[in-house]
Structure 1
Amino acid sequence: MFAVLKTGGKQYRVQSGDMLRVEKLAADAGEKVQFNEILMLGGDAPVVGAPFVAGAAVQAEVIDQVKADKVISFIKRRRKHGSQRTRGHRQKLTLLRVTEILASGAEKTGVRAATGAVSGAAVTAAAAPKAAKKAAAPAKDTDDLKQLSGVGPALEKKLLEAGVTSFAQIAAWTEADVAAMDEKLSFKGRIEREGWIEQAKELTKG
């Protein structure tokens, strides 16, 4: 009997005793895991799932946590010499030995279901939107710089990134400060044209 199982977004055709490398699982060497997403059972009486075969499972023993080999990436450039390089990333994998294929009764075995391991990159990616939102939100003691003429959300963000958080700072700018800020904002002359310093002084008084 053979089975077609699904894990890590891929499908594998396995038989009892097969050695298998799959996307990293949250399991240690020596542990037994069970794959419950079985797409097909083959043999004398094949069964095709819709999408999975009810009650079927594949059990396996974790041999080791390994990494895939580095791969050579060849890049072909039009009218130029191609280039190749070894990619530094090595995918984390789990080495398994298939121990048993169950046609039914998977829910009664008590063997822990195989689940993917969340990588550090995934955790970082998931946390990134929250961190970006937090960073974009102005601090409690930050003035609403959009009150200045010509300042929208994008320009306000640039000002905050440059360390400008209050009207008092802008009101105290010198000619040297204005010149330096013109360079940072890439809007040369805007500060004087829009009269930010005068506006800031009035807003500070208010």
Structure 2
Amino acid sequence: MYAVIKTGGKQYKVAAGEKIKVELLDAEVGAEVTLDQVLALGSGDGLKVGAPLVAGATVSAKVVSHGKHDKVRIFKLRRRKHYKKSQGHRQNYTELEISAVNG
């Protein structure tokens, strides 16, 4: 069984036992988190799509760690204008291990 969930403004397809990196959540390492914004549930060849959410469906996950992604380099250049700008950005994330898909 798998589910499509929404967290942090992004959508993820998850199944039990998977590890995913999502936008930073306010939870301690080792805590159990319940994600209740389930957009779709699938099992085998059947699919249940919500409008917009599937009623009563939840996904249980355990917080594995917090961290930062790799640096993204931003470089802007205007040729022949003596303009150069360099920036970098590292986004925070929370790593989750999906323990169960309930629905």
> Residue deviations 1:169-204, cap 9 Å, x none?
xxxxxxxxxxxxxxxxxxxxxxxxxxxxxxxxxxxx
Aligned to 1:66: 67
Aligned to 1:57: 58
**Equivalent position amino acid for 2:54 in 1:** V
Aligned residues: 102
| Gap regions ≥5 residues in structure 1 | 104-206
With over 3 angstroms needed to count, the CA separation of the structure-2 counterparts of 1:56 and 1:81, relative to structure 1, is: farther
Q: Give the C-alpha shift of residue 91 in structure 1.
A: 1.8
With over 3 angstroms needed to count, the CA separation of the structure-2 counterparts of 1:86 and 1:42, relative to structure 1, is: same
| Gap regions ≥5 residues in structure 2 | none
Task: Provide the TM-score with structure 1 as the length reference.
Answer: 0.45
Aligned to 1:91: 91
Counterpart of 2:11 in 1: which secondary structure? strand
State how far apart, in whole Å, the 2-side matches of 1:72 and 1:11 are. Answer: 24
State how far apart, in whole Å, the 2-side matches of 1:86 and 1:78 are. Answer: 18
Percentage identity across aligned positions?
46
With over 3 angstroms needed to count, the CA separation of the structure-2 counterparts of 1:82 and 1:41, relative to structure 1, is: farther
Instruction: Answer 1 or 2: higher relative contact order, Cα 8 Å, separation at least 6.
Output: 2
State how far apart, in whole Å, the 2-side matches of 1:82 and 1:46 are. Answer: 53
State how far apart, in whole Å, the 2-side matches of 1:82 and 1:74 are. Answer: 11
State how far apart, in whole Å, the 2-side matches of 1:3 and 1:84 are. Answer: 42
CA contact (8 A) 1:58 1:100 kept: yes
Counterpart of 1:28 in 2: which secondary structure? coil
State how far apart, in whole Å, the 1-side matches of 2:62 and 2:83 are. Answer: 44
Aligned to 1:12: 12
Task: Provide the TM-score with structure 2 as the length reference.
Answer: 0.87
Q: Give the C-alpha shift of residue 83 in structure 1.
A: 5.3
State how far apart, in whole Å, the 2-side matches of 1:81 and 1:42 are. Answer: 55
Q: Give the C-alpha shift of residue 41 in structure 1.
A: 0.7
> Residue deviations 1:108-167, cap 9 Å, x none?
xxxxxxxxxxxxxxxxxxxxxxxxxxxxxxxxxxxxxxxxxxxxxxxxxxxxxxxxxxxx
The within-5 A match list for 1:15-164 is: 15-44=15-44, 45-79=46-80, 85-87=86-88, 89-103=89-103
As a proportion of its length, which structure holds more helix? Answer: 1
Counterpart of 1:46 in 2: which secondary structure? strand
With over 3 angstroms needed to count, the CA separation of the structure-2 counterparts of 1:80 and 1:7, relative to structure 1, is: same
State how far apart, in whole Å, the 1-side matches of 2:63 and 2:87 are. Answer: 29
Counterpart of 1:30 in 2: which secondary structure? coil
